[in-house]
Amino acid sequence: MPPIVPNSHIVNYGSPILPIKRVEIFSDEEWEIFIEEWLDTRKSEYPETERLGGSGDKGSDIAAYVTDKNSENYIWDCYQGKHYGHPLMPSEVYIEMGKIIYFSFIKVYPCPRSYFFIAPKNCGSSLSNLLKSPARLKAALEKQWEKDCENKITATTDVPLSGAFLDYFNRFDFSIFKKFVTKDIIAAHASHSNHKIWFGGGLPPRQEMDEAGIPAEAQPNENIYVVQLLKAYTSAAARAFSGAPELTEPYTNHFKRSRISFHYAEQLRNLYRDSLPPGTFEKFQGEIYDGVVNIYEGSHSNGYEKVKAVEVHAASIPITSNPLTDVSVIKDKIGICHQLCNEEKLKWT
């Protein structure tokens, strides 16, 4: 690996940790949450998921439902997350296999369609080889049953391999037991809104806009703030402006700047919507509102002076705690004022 060129961020915070290494320092609960979020990116396959980890989970860590879980004989997949500091070994999963076989036998739930083991350092070679051969896996579990499963599946009852349960065990489809590779999960999780929170990496750059980059005429989603601007100009000029073509200086240029700023703020809202947790932009917007509301409620000679005063103050508001800070510009802060007007939280007249 080539040497890292030091910069101020590395000096202050250290070299970045690769995602494949970062998951190794997750807590058990964080690992389960991370897997559940990954499954959330597969809504087309699993309309509902449910995290069941903990004592009494009956062998099911995260249940991913293919059909309605309230229906009889619903179809589901089970994801068993194991967070150890080493690759997963057969002796660490025999009990989980035993639970799923036993509890499906007594009809606590239908047998899952597939049962996946997931561990930060993946499955070791011994377990991986067993998972490739259902017959060998069955034989290995049968051999270890008395030691690893018989008196560990429930707290009150031993579960020997005998009678009707042995018949069920022999008929059981051991091909349902599989594994998922961690690097593939991390890659798929990248589409989740919390991915940057777990792993960092920054937000993608934005495209710069100017007047040529926005629609020549105001769009339906701009109606409210545009009408408010026209009223603000009317209050200052002592003449009515019913549309943008009627504007004169200095209102023409202010109107153009306002529309560009509004579209900057809309770009900020939409571009990073799927890259950050829900509500991130709304919190950024709320910071601007809290910063300008005293100016907004102050005394102004007319609506035009009011909107300018609010814009000037918005541009100077320092926002340090929001993830959007690193990708936002002054036009965003000014544009948010017009968004707030568009949402009828601010009015210029």
Per residue in 113-172, pLDDT (tens digit) is 999 999 999 999 999 999 999 999 999 999 999 999 999 999 899 999 999 999 999 999
pLDDT for res 97: 97
pLDDT for res 59: 46
Residue 204 located in a structural domain: no
Structure tokens at 334: 């000014």
pLDDT for res 53: 63
Residue 78 located in a structural domain: yes
Residue 69 located in a structural domain: yes
Helical H segments across the chain, by residue range: 8-13, 19-22, 28-40, 94-105, 125-132, 134-148, 163-171, 182-189, 195-199, 223-237, 251-271, 280-296, 303-315, 330-342
Segment (H or E) for 304: helix 303-315
E strand spans, 170-217:
177-179
Does the pLDDT of residue 219 top 80, yes or no?
yes
Same domain, 313 and 338: yes
First-residue to last-residue Cα distance in the chain: 62
- Cα–Cα distance measured from residue 343 to residue 107, given in angstroms and rounded to the nearest whole number: 53
Segment (H or E) for 168: helix 163-171
Name the percent of the chain in helix, strand, coil, to the closest 5: 50, 5, 40
Residue 307 located in a structural domain: yes
Domain boundary among the residues 146, 179, 199 is at 199
pLDDT for res 2: 45
Number of domains into which the chain is organized: 2
Domain boundary among the residues 199, 220, 242 is at 199
Same domain, 162 and 221: no
Tell me the per-residue pLDDT of 9-30, one tens digit each, with 9 for 90 and over: 555 566 678 899 999 999 999 9
Same domain, 31 and 117: yes
Q: Which domain holds residue 189?
A: 8-199
pLDDT for res 16: 72
Residue 206 located in a structural domain: no
Same domain, 219 and 189: no
CA 219 to chain CA centroid, Å, is: 31
The residues near 46 (Cβ < 8 Å, ≥ 6 apart) are 39, 64, 65, 66, 77
Same domain, 145 and 67: yes
Same domain, 272 and 162: no
Same domain, 187 and 216: no
Same domain, 19 and 167: yes
Residue 117 located in a structural domain: yes
Tell me the per-residue pLDDT of 298-329, one tens digit each, with 9 for 90 and over: 999 999 999 999 999 999 999 988 989 988 99
Domain boundary among the residues 149, 177, 199 is at 199
pLDDT for res 276: 85
User: Lowest-confidence range among 87-101, 126-140, 266-280?
Assistant: 266-280
Residue 294 located in a structural domain: yes
Same domain, 182 and 279: no
Same domain, 174 and 218: no
pTM score: 0.68
Amino acid identity at 221: N
Residue of 209 and 249 predicted with greater confidence: 249
Tell me how long the chain is. Answer: 349
Residue 1 located in a structural domain: no
Percent of the chain with pLDDT over 90: 80
Residue of 150 and 208 predicted with greater confidence: 150
Structure tokens at 264: 């900057």
Rg (CA), the chain: 30
The pLDDT of 251-279, averaged and rounded, is 93
Is-contact 154 96, C-beta < 8 A?
Answer: no
Torsion angle of C-alpha atoms 131, 136, 142, 148, degrees rounded to 10? -40
Q: Which among 26, 75, 44 is positioned nearest to 35, based on CA atoms?
A: 26
What are the phi and psi torsion angles at 23 (to 5°)? -65, -20
Does the pLDDT of residue 8 top 60, yes or no?
no
Same domain, 13 and 37: yes
pLDDT for res 12: 56
Judge residue 163's burial from the number of C-beta atoms within 10 Å of its C-beta, 0-12 exposed, 13-18 middle, 19 or more buried. Answer: exposed
Same domain, 146 and 265: no
pLDDT for res 1: 41
